[in-house]
Amino acid sequence: MSPAPAETISPRGARALVLGLGRFGGGLGVARWLLAEGARVCVTDRLPRADLAAAADELERAGAELVLGGHEGLDPADFDLVVVNPAVPQSAPLVRAARQAGTRVTSEMSLLLERWPGPVLGITGSNGKSTTVSLTEALLKAAGCPVRAGGNLGGSLLPELAGLAPGTVAVLELSSFMLEVSGPLGLGPDVAVITNITPNHLDRHGNMASYREAKAQVLVRARVAVLPPDAELGGPLDLPPGCAPLRFGPAGAGIDLGLDVSGHLTDAGGSRRLSTSALALPGHSARLDLAAALLAAGALIGDPAAIDAALPQALAAWRPLRHRFERLARLDGVTWVDDSASTTPESTAASLAAVEGPCLLIVGGRDKGLSPEPLLAAAAKRCRLVLALGEQGPDLAAALGERGVEAEDVGTLELAVGRAAALAAPGDTVLLSPGYSSHDQFPHFEARAEAFRRLVRVLAADGSAPLSPPAAEC
């Protein structure tokens, strides 16, 4: 049985410990909200103040107590709740001590789920969840629903709670790190989507079984579960009582909305719901994301026909997310694509499948303990040149060379872009889809993407053809 939701603790007057501020302010939003709600807030991080200066200064001015450079002198038993940044593992000593002391361990997402005044649609998965969130948001907006998107995609929604219209829908991207806190508290969305479960974050979860268990926490309160075939989930998942499954995937038996071999979306009876000519989406994976979004949005409002009717308007308004197969420019006949958000071999393989024509792939970074096989196999089929960089560069170049793929270990992104510019021919696509973490050379994947965009902009300024839209964002 699913756990009953834990009793909500009012922040007013409560003593709250925020564990993990982070270099990029991951705990800043929830600390601001707690202070605004009247909580007595202590923020702690193992990083020194020098690494956290801007966020630390703001919170101190707002009245928070700061314990930085470690957690010295803090006893979780002295607090009413411990709010854990998703970057902090549940195995951290202070988290374990809080549970042993009986102090409520929660998170920003759990606080939001406790308080959201309308329906909640939650989306998780190893690949495709951000695109599915953005498509679902676009569909609901086009259907006339008040909607906010947040979670792992975008900033904190806690500050918006006070001004929300009744019935506003939350469309939330939920990571495994978020779900391993909210699920055991009995908190989750009304409609849950799992795009797929493939190996990821094994450096955090330890093994595939634990990672899969964390992902499955999205189902704890769901009345509808939108799921791919069991093979895409590592096997069947146990659904809570009363939860109705809806399936998307390759068209066939048991699939409520499927993608046929011609790229058309078809219903369970095989009737065409949407022609491929109407799907201005790159590749097979994005069209499956749309199938999941259509099922989820229709289930949430209880009117799939209204969502179908809203689809043309939604697709006209929708734009690809930054750093997710984002076409930056066409220079001298060469298309440059930013897919820096790809941090797993599986996601790079999916992006390669969306490339039309010859591809020069820029790949590599820090290993997350995942098998490179999906990337290697896809590159062997689709790439005429691979430029490898970062800590995994030498191994990737060697492994691809053994498969007969032309591959070079170039070391850095700057050298990779220069080499690609020298070797690319009209009709080629240069795809930055690293398949690995950025943390060997960049603080996060967004910084890696911005470096790539700057380098492409330099190429354009050096006399190549003008940037094609969206030039202003390059």
Best CA proximity match to 182, nearest among 279, 257, 66, 104: 104
* Residue 287 confidence (pLDDT): 87
Best CA proximity match to 133, nearest among 166, 170, 167, 164: 170
* Residue 203 confidence (pLDDT): 79
Best CA proximity match to 263, nearest among 246, 281, 245: 281
* Residue 270 confidence (pLDDT): 78
Per-residue tokens: 272: 């065409």
CATH class of 326-473: alpha beta
For domain 110-317, the CATH superfamily is: Mur-like, catalytic domain (3.40.1190.10)
Best CA proximity match to 453, nearest among 407, 409, 413: 413
Give residue limits of the domains in the chain. 15-106, 110-317, 326-473
CB 295 within 8 Å of CB 256: yes
What does pTM read for this prediction?
0.84
SS3 per residue for 323-350: CCCEEEEEECCEEEEECCCCCCHHHHHH
Best CA proximity match to 215, nearest among 231, 223, 227, 229: 227
Reply yes or no on domain 15-106 having CATH 3.40.50.720. Answer: yes
CA 84 to CA 278: how far, in whole Å?
43
Stretches where the chain sits below pLDDT 70 are 1-2, 4, 23-25, 154, 274-283, 463-474
On the question of a common fold for 15-106 and 110-317, the answer reads no
* Residue 205 confidence (pLDDT): 82
> DSSP labels for 114-161?
HH--S-EEEEE-SSSHHHHHHHHHHHHHHTT--EEEEETSSS-SGGGG
Overall size of the chain counted in residues: 474
CB 321 within 8 Å of CB 131: yes
Report phi then psi at 414, rounded to 5. Answer: -60, -45
Angle subtended at Cα 152 by Cα 200 and Cα 470, rounded to the nearest 5 degrees: 100
Strand 265-267 and strand 257-259: the pairing is antiparallel
Q: Is the peptide bond before 470 cis (omega within 30 degrees of 0)?
A: yes
CA 341 to CA 344: how far, in whole Å?
9
Angle subtended at Cα 297 by Cα 292 and Cα 302, rounded to the nearest 5 degrees: 125
CA 100 to CA 86: how far, in whole Å?
20
* Residue given tokens 């974050």 in the structure block: 201
272 by DSSP, 3-state: which? strand
Q: What percent of the chain has pLDDT over 90?
A: 73
* Residue 465 confidence (pLDDT): 42
